[in-house]
Structure 1
Amino acid sequence: MASSSSSSSPAAKRNGGYRNWAELPPELTSSILIRISPIEILQNAQKVCRSWRRVCIDPSMWRKIDLRNLDGLVYDLETMCRHAVDLSQGGLLEINIDDYTTTSLLTYIADRSSDLRSLGFVECGPVMSRGVIEAVMKLSMLEELQISYESIREQDLKLVGQSCPNLRTLKLYCMDNSEYCCDKVALAIAETMPGLRHLWLFRNGLSDTGLNAILECCPNLNVLDLHKCSNITLVGNMGN
């Protein structure tokens, strides 16, 4: 029984004795815990002992929240995400979430994270599209945005560009290569996002016309990633 009890305590056997992990300096504990997933922190780490809990609920632990690649977990991820956002106390700078995203969750994040710099998520279906744009419009400090969508209107992208003047990285994943992924989208980017430095387009139907507009209106663009954009011919000067 004694052996079983000691193995479950926050102490690790080393050199014939025990090191009490609860007595580590807070900055070292933080450096260790920040390497595990937010779910593990909320569900397990913060329950180990009082010293760990103090570290786990410190707002500095929640400047960045990554909730991707959590397949197999049975937790209520939206509730967990809201809890993590609350723990940041308004200091959240970067968040990546997966395909359980809802418009209410995005609104919750936007309303409590006005200093957010990076927002990444996937699978924005047509029902969510307007909610996504309304949430992003509240994030005037945003520098990086990643959206995967089925349909998005050029008017919506213009609102994003007008609301987020500091936007430097935009990643758009079009899931069905529809009519919405076309030169209208490219022209909206060109018109309202002149400060872009990195543009990533996947399965976008833009032509050379749309691409030229982006290149002419985004003078700071130094990384342009085009994947499965089959309507671009890249002839003449564009091909050099």
Structure 2
Amino acid sequence: MWHKIDLRIPKNFKALHYDFEAMYRYAVDLSRGGLLEINFVDIGSYSLLTYIANRSSNLRRLRVSDFLGITRIGIFEEVEKFPLLEEVEFSFWCIREVLIKGIGQPCPNLKTLKLNGKFYMKSADKVALTIAETMPGLCHLQLFGSGLLYTGLKAIFDNCPNLEHLDLRHCFDFDLVEDLENQFSEGIKVVRRANFF
């Protein structure tokens, strides 16, 4: 029990003034250091993430969505305390390469990375290059709405040899070039292209 915490708070509950952070903390305490997966959806603060990081060094899966209470820099400062992470999912309004570097370097076991949201257009390829540089063991990669370009995608193919699933939905800013299509057919089992819904 208490190895997975997934508190998805309906929007109408927020008006009822429940202390959701206290609920998260209590659930983390009940896990007694055995927490393996946590999902933050539309709630949280830097102090809550620090609380979890200081008590859950065995965490394998982290999902953060619309985490308005802390900065992205604050997130990867705490992610360094999760060296066993295998799966990370972030859904933010904007994603930059500094966040990716802060995850990839301290988490060598990372197999799944899911990024959902808007990327700064000038940094979409930088994000991809950082993924290629810091996450060579990836098997599953989702870059939903990334604005990814040829250079970044090619770097991922060249540096992530274990990649089996690639999700590029809503990446309308590039066309798959023929040589990349050939690489898809060689190693990647599942590809969800830009226009796939």
TM-score bin (small chain): 0.7 to 0.9
Kindly provide the amino acid, as one letter, of the partner of residue 86 in structure 1.
Answer: D
Higher strand share: 2
Aligned to 2:41: 98
Aligned to 2:158: 216
Contact 2:28 2:55 in 1 (8 A): yes
Contact 1:126 1:150 in 2 (8 A): no
Kindly provide the amino acid, as one letter, of the partner of residue 149 in structure 2.
Answer: S
Inter-CA distance 185–209: structure 2 relative to 1 (3 Å threshold): same
Aligned to 1:33: none
Q: How does 1:40-51 map to 2 (within 5 A)?
A: none
Aligned to 1:86: 29
Aligned to 2:186: none
Distance 2:89 2:122 in 1: 17
**2:85 aligned with 1:142, yes or no?**
yes
Aligned to 2:110: 167
The farther-off stretch of 225-234 and 162-171 is: 225-234
Aligned to 1:192: 134
* 1:125 Cα deviation from its structure 2 partner: 5.1
Kindly provide the amino acid, as one letter, of the partner of residue 220 in structure 1.
Answer: N
Distance 1:201 1:132 in 2: 19
Kindly provide the amino acid, as one letter, of the partner of residue 64 in structure 1.
Answer: K
Please give the root-mean-square deviation of Cα atoms over the aligned residues, in Å.
1.8
State the SS of the aligned residue for 1:115.
coil
Runs of 4+ in structure 1 over 6 Å off? none
Aligned to 1:66: 6
Contact 1:201 1:225 in 2 (8 A): yes
Distance 1:112 1:76 in 2: 20
Inter-CA distance 100–139: structure 2 relative to 1 (3 Å threshold): same
State the SS of the aligned residue for 1:72.
helix
Contact 1:150 1:178 in 2 (8 A): no
Inter-CA distance 77–166: structure 2 relative to 1 (3 Å threshold): same
* 1:177 Cα deviation from its structure 2 partner: 4.0
Contact 2:46 2:69 in 1 (8 A): no
Inter-CA distance 180–115: structure 2 relative to 1 (3 Å threshold): farther
Distance 1:65 1:126 in 2: 19
* 1:159 Cα deviation from its structure 2 partner: 2.4
**2:63 aligned with 1:123, yes or no?**
no
* 1:127 Cα deviation from its structure 2 partner: 5.4
What TM-score does the superposition give when structure 2 sets the normalisation length?
0.84
Distance 1:91 1:235 in 2: 45
Distance 1:171 1:181 in 2: 17
State the SS of the aligned residue for 1:147.
strand
Unaligned runs of 5+ in 1: 1-60
State the SS of the aligned residue for 2:115.
strand
What TM-score does the superposition give when structure 1 sets the normalisation length?
0.70
Distance 2:69 2:175 in 1: 30
Distance 1:137 1:233 in 2: 35
Report Cα offsets for 1:84-135 as digits up to 9, x if no partner: 0011111000111211122221111111100000011201459521111111
Instruction: Report percent identity of matched pairs.
Output: 53
Higher relative contact order (CA 8 A, sep 6+): 2
Distance 2:95 2:173 in 1: 18
The farther-off stretch of 122-131 and 159-168 is: 122-131
